[in-house]
Chains A and B, each alone.
Chain A
Amino acid sequence: MQQFPCPFCGLRNETEFHFAFEAGHPRPEPAKDVSDAEWAKYLYLHKAPKGKSSEIWLHLTCHEYFILHRDTVTREVLSCDVLPGAEA
């Protein structure tokens, strides 16, 4: 049972979390200017890094998305960040 830190709830069991995306994939817009290949890259292509990885996770109990920095080999959790998101 791994434990991940939610920036808003603290350390919680892995079963409270859902892996959403790799971090750093902005949505290409507007649709009419985006090629099929660009869209496919955004939707489907990843790095699946071996080692340090930055990922977006959802904390299922509080419904907040956040950034989790972790190591995919050792499973060490490095840190977490609040989603930069839109403040406006």
Chain B
Amino acid sequence: MSGSRHAELGRFIDRSQPRSFTFDGQRIAGFAGDTLASALLANGVHILGRSFKYHRPRGLWGMGADEPNAIFDVRLGQEHRPNQRATTTLLEDAMVVTSVNANPNAAKDRFRLMDRLHRFLPAGFYYKTFMALDWIRYEPMIRRMAGLGRVDPGYAPPADVPHLVAVCDLLIVGAGPSGLAAAHAAAQSGRAVWLVDDAAQLGGSLHRRGGQIDGADWTAFADATRYAVLNAGGRILCNTTVWGAFDHNVFSAWVRRLDGPDQHMRIRAAEVVVATGAIERPLWFANNDLPGVMSCEAALEFLQCYGALPGQRILIATANDASYTVASALAKAGAEVTLVDQRHDAPDADDITQIKSGILTAAKGKTHVQSAVVNGQDIPCDAIFCSGGYTPTVHLWCQSGGKLDWDADQDALVPRPGTSSLKPIGAAAGQFGLKAALATGHALFGNGNGPETDAVTPRAQAPVRPDPNLPGRQWIDMQNDVTLKDVGLAAREGFTSVEHLKRYTTLGMATDQGRTSNFAGLAAMAAVTGRTIPETGTTTYRPPFEPVPLSVIAGRRRGDLFNPLKRLSLEAAHCDMGARFREYGGWLRPAVYGVGAEADLAQKEAKIARDIAGIFDASPLGKLEVIGTGAGKLLDFTGYMRMSTLKPGRARYGFMLAESGIVYDDGVVLRLDENRFIVSASSSHVDGVRARLEDARQDRIGHRHVYIHDVTQGLVTLTVTGPKTLDVIAGAGIDLPDLPHMGVVETPLDGHFLRVARISFTGDRSYELTVPGRNAEGLRARLDASLKNAGGKWIGLEAVMILRAEKGFILIGKDTDGNTMPHDLGWVGPMNKRDDEYLGKRALFTPEGQSETRRQWVGLRVTGDAVPETGSHLIPTDGPRRSLGFITSSYFSPNLGRPIALALLENGRALVGTTVGCFNDGSVRNVEVVDACAFDPDWSRLNG
């Protein structure tokens, strides 16, 4: 067969703009407006791919999202898309197109012999064999055979897809005749309509079927509708696929744009009209997958819209009147047409060879149709166009919760009224034909008579079903190679539920999402089990309506925009001071300063901080102001340690427990005055602590007597620590009031407040200096100069980690886990003494809370310089190995000159002084259990 281009037809193509691309290395010419499918068809290329399992040669079947066979890898410049449907990919110059699942190419695939083995590869054959060895021995071979296109490993998305949120009053999906009529009527009545269609132009089936509306060519009505919609404040969105219906009236739309990256829209629509038309069903006969077998509607589309004539001697097989238009159009275009109609009472076709009561039982040909067998007679032909009726496109209806009814008159599953708020019209509602489409569309929003047409209705048809008794292989799902025999086998083996059928045979699971195969499968299962279609059931429809690029759904959330970090006010200044940043608890913070190995720098910083002085940026520490007459009462309930007894001007360390008794957070609470506290939550727990405080405030304490303000992000806290702390602060010109340990005071500095809290996370004398963000740079600069004079250093979080570990201070979430209770950490006082209620109290007294095998906080001492790995487990020194706990933090201490380690150890405090095993990746060393505090155990440096 050779394809050809009709001299005049082809409303979508622009013959003045030639385009070309390569397909499997062969240069193919086309025009602007062509799809890959139409160009290939016009050039007579008929083997476009190979089937998934049997590697059968395949040509075009359909014209849009229903195409199961023509799937290509398409490259254009930087862009690469595997598994593109030829029917929906617009031809662009210089595209490099290759067939998938074929080697070296579709025409000469070396796996074509697979088809000879088909008898041994029935549906689900893999469940019955490949069991002699482990599956993984067979798997590489299977996996190489499977899959369609190829991922380009070097691919990087050239641009990101923006996500947009939109609201609309009336969304009409589909701009065929029914959608146009609905949009026209709604716009006329003043509604702001969004009219959406996945094609490039309005019109839908009208482009191929044509028609007169209100006495003129339909295009005049389409133009009038466009004008009316825009005039009423609506929008027209072409090249846009509404691919999902979600909760609360949200619809997702994939917008393809010629002048920029695609868009992903989340449209919240008050009212939605489904005008998505219908899809033509195939016919079932032997070799119905042969290249040259095509849908009637597709053949008409290719002829009228692209001028591509897909054959010269054409056999049309049908059982409905709609195909007659196709036959006469093809005949008019110069093809030799034979019309085979299953109906004995078929209408007469003028000027066309017609066979009534004609049953097509087989197609013949090796790689392309050469003849058709009709009523036992061979009829030579180079193309078979067939129609087994129409299936309404009800995806959105069903996604939104709508149910379906079997309509025997229309021979289709149609929307059951009242089961969804969406409004189906036209062919999507089972109302076939132009007249019905216009009428149902208009009736929704218009008064009186709608647009008139001279089109003939209704479209008479006889139901067509697969015939299990027919010899030969009849394809039900073309891409996944499921035949009618496979359906029979599934039924025999008990997979009679439609879902089981799908899963067992993979029917309907291909990239065409079952558009041509789902009804066929249902009808086939009904046929082989002797049930009706409604008895057999329906499958579930879920988004996406058609395959949507992952890049569209992902949008711009990657890189900088993926889980963004909070950033320090002084980030730029830290940068200038040589900071190297890392993520800690949702904030980007200096890990170390300077050039060189990170571990060495941290050691150096930790040493200088102990020997002289260090400053670190502690701004991410939460600052939740709890203000009101109920503040003390609130904090007493939410904290393990009581805070109402705290004196103004003082701070106290405390835990917040979850109701399960687990330590949720730790931190210092400052009391500034009688009614004003500040909770220093861990940087990563600010929101969580706030939520727990609010819960107790609103539900328990009384929301009018205490309020919570989170002012963390507006303030900057610089912590000065080390023996020369006082010198550094004094050298910065800050007049430090005399403060005891855990004292806090606010004093003015540079016209704003400076809050000084003498709190130590290092065990050395330390002051937290907190100022508003606008004063931070001034404070930093003063301190920096003074620090340099004193010989101190800015220290990063890695050094801070070492310093606090030397003292045995915990880090929530690192040194505690989801089982750690306060008494495990040595804080038994409140549990034993508090009579009042507090968060998590009751859980401390469960059998597990009181168990003697709880893991407790201890230190470990090792011999030698090798630091035991964090994450090592502790095990008994003899007897069977079992975990007694694990190391939560370990470092080399530059100040002690030896490794230190902290651990949670079963009954650990009682084991202090004994030896346990330390297990890491199979090797074991002995460690001594010691007190968690390794450095300055008598706390002499706190006031040093």
Contact = CB atoms under 8 A, between A and B. Distances in A.
| Complex contact flag A–B (Cβ < 8 Å) | yes
A63 interface: yes
Contacts of B842: 28, 31, 34, 39
B847 interface: yes
B248 A75 contact: yes
Contact of B700 (A18, A30, A86): A86
B407 to A, nearest CB: 26
B629 to A, nearest CB: 11
Given A31-B842, A75-B248, A87-B704, A43 B699 contact: no
B694 A30 contact: no
A6 interface: no
Interface string B834-861: 0001000111011100000000000000
A39 B699 CA distance: 18
A1 B691 contact: no
Interface string A77-88: 100000101111
A35 B514 CA distance: 57
Given A30-B837, A31-B845, A43 B694 contact: no
Contacts of A55: none
Contact of A64 (B248, B401, B694): B694
B702 A1 contact: no
A86 B837 contact: no
Contacts of A83: 698-699
A56 B694 CA distance: 13
B582 interface: no
B570 interface: no
Contacts of A74: 401
B695 interface: yes
B690 A63 contact: yes
A3 interface: yes
Interface in A11-34: 18, 20, 28-31, 34
Contact of A2 (B248, B691, B843): B248
B165 to A, nearest CB: 8
Contact of A63 (B246, B660, B691): B691
B846 A39 contact: yes
B646 interface: no
Contact of A43 (B247, B660, B690, B845): B660
Kindly name the residue among B250, B266, B699, B708 whose own CB sees the greatest number of chain A CB atoms within 10 A: B699
B451 to A, nearest CB: 36
Given A65-B698, A88-B702, A58 B660 contact: no
Interface residues of A, number: 26
Given A20-B695, A63-B690, A75-B247, A39 B702 contact: no
Contacts of A87: 702-704
B99 to A, nearest CB: 39
A29 B699 contact: no
B843 A63 contact: no
Interface string B686-697: 010011001100
B695 A86 contact: no
A74 B702 CA distance: 35
A60 B687 CA distance: 9
B571 interface: no
A86 B659 CA distance: 19
Interface residues of B, number: 29
A1 B660 contact: no
Contacts of B659: 43
B732 interface: no
A75 B687 CA distance: 27
Contacts of B690: 63
B871 to A, nearest CB: 30
Nearest to A38: B842
Given A43-B659, A63-B694, A31 B846 contact: no
A65 B695 contact: yes
B837 A31 contact: yes
Contact of B691 (A3, A34, A58, A88): A58
Interface SS, A side: loop
Contacts of A86: 699-703
A27 to B, nearest CB: 8
Contacts of B660: 43
A18 B702 contact: no
Nearest to A26: B699
B91 to A, nearest CB: 37
Interface in B214-255: 246-248, 250
Nearest to B708: A63
Given A1-B250, A1-B266, A88-B702, A43 B695 contact: no
Contacts of B695: 20, 58, 65
Contacts of A3: 248
Contact of A65 (B248, B687, B694, B837): B694
Contacts of A28: 842
A57 B276 CA distance: 39
Nearest to B694: A63
A88 B700 CA distance: 9
Contacts of B699: 65, 83, 85-86
A39 B214 CA distance: 75
Contacts of A39: 842-843, 846
A77 B699 CA distance: 23
Nearest to A31: B842
A85 B843 CA distance: 23
B841 A85 contact: no
Interface in A28-82: 28-31, 34, 36, 39, 43, 58, 60, 63-65, 74-75, 77
A10 B772 CA distance: 33
Nearest to A11: B248
Contacts of A85: 698-700, 702-703
A20 B698 CA distance: 14
Contacts of B847: 36
Nearest to B705: A88
B247 A2 contact: yes
B786 to A, nearest CB: 40
A18 B847 CA distance: 31
A18 B687 CA distance: 12
Kindly name the residue among A3, A18, A39, A87 whose own CB sees the greatest number of chain B CB atoms within 10 A: A39
Interface in B78-106: none
Given A63-B690, A64-B694, A88-B702, A43 B248 contact: no
A18 B694 CA distance: 13
B846 A36 contact: yes
Interface in B242-285: 246-248, 250, 266, 268
A76 B691 CA distance: 26
A83 B694 CA distance: 12
Nearest to A29: B837
Contacts of A60: 687
List 3 tightest A-B contacts by C-beta distance, closest first. Answer: A31-B842, A86-B702, A31-B841
Interface of B: 246-248, 250, 266, 268, 401, 659-660, 687, 690-691, 694-695, 698-704, 708, 837, 841-843, 845-847
5 contacts: A39-B842, A65-B694, A65-B699, A77-B248, A85-B702
Given A64-B698, A65-B699, 14 more contacts: A1-B266, A1-B268, A30-B837, A31-B841, A31-B842, A34-B842, A36-B846, A39-B846, A43-B659, A58-B695, A63-B690, A74-B401, A85-B702, A86-B699
